[in-house]
């Protein structure tokens, strides 16, 4: 049990793929802190994988939601409102790009692949926040996941770096627009972790090794460290923080050489 108490609070976690996903680490730690939550799955093919994890949480709600489908987004929030009444947090941990767009030169990214990566990985935050805000009746916290490739070149990350740059600007813009409603928006910039999505990045293992060698702490991070940061951001300990990109990377981001 963590010292932060979220008892009586409810929220939504989007992006749980399996037990190694960052979204799951966050869901697990928020549940340990007493929160009740809804977990989403993209389609029937992925439902069993997520439902098995949801069953380990205390009274979790499982809802289908393809973040590229506005109708499904609306229906998901309707289910959440009917079940919870209101929410205090939303975690957006969604990203996708075609595998071929992560393996060939960035200049060869097609129009459709570019559009898909930006729609899923960046644009999806907008309608989710738009629907979440009315349910955050006493304010709330939105947390999304980004990566250092938003600012620097990581060969193999390609169009996802562009998507993360767009996502980080959205965090700042939305933090401004929803600030008066006491809704905070922040992003966690995590170091490389062994997730399902990471497997699609060419040269990921080299990236992870170089991070550990260059980081001041001399190691890679853990999913639990990212989750603990999300727990902090979703709690009342972070009421003065919004529009921020918070690195959780063992200090890698401060190094030049």
Active site residues per annotation: 157, 164
CB 126 within 8 A of CB 169: no
Q: How far is CA 187 from CA 172, 212, 214, in A?
A: 9, 22, 23
Cβ 36 vs Cβ 63: under 8 Å: no
CA distance 160 to 146: 10
**Beta-strand (E) ranges in the chain?**
10-14, 36-41, 61-64, 89-92, 140-146, 183-190, 245-248
152-166 burial, b at 16+ Cβ within 10 Å, e below that, comes to: eebebbbbbbbbbeb
């Amino acid at each position: 049990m963590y010292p932060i108490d979220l008892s009586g609070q409810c929220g939504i976690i989007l992006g749980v793929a399996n037990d190694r996903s960052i979204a799951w680490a966050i869901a697990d730690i928020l549940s340990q802190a007493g929160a009740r939550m809804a977990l989403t799955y993209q389609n029937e093919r992925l439902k069993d994988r997520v439902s098995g994890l949801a069953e380990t949480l205390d009274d979790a709600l499982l809802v289908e939601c393809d973040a590229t489908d506005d109708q499904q987004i609306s229906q998901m929030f309707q289910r959440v409102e009917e079940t919870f009444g209101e929410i205090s947090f939303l975690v957006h941990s969604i990203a996708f790009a075609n595998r071929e767009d992560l393996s060939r030169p960035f200049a060869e990214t097609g129009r459709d692949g570019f559009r898909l990566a930006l729609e899923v990985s960046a644009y999806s935050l907008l309608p989710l926040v738009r629907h979440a805000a009315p349910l955050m009746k006493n304010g709330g916290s939105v947390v999304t996941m980004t990566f250092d490739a938003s600012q620097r070149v990581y060969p193999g990350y390609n169009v996802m770096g562009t998507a993360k740059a767009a996502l980080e600007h959205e965090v700042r813009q939305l933090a401004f627009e929803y600030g008066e409603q006491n809704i905070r928006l922040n992003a966690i910039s995590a170091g490389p972790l062994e997730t399902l999505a990471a497997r699609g990045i060419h040269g990921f293992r080299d990236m992870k090794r170089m991070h550990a060698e260059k980081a001041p702490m001399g190691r890679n991070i853990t999913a639990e460290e990212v989750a603990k940061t999300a727990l902090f951001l979703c709690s009342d300990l972070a009421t003065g923080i919004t529009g921020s990109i918070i690195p959780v990377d063992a200090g890698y981001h401060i190094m030049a050489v």
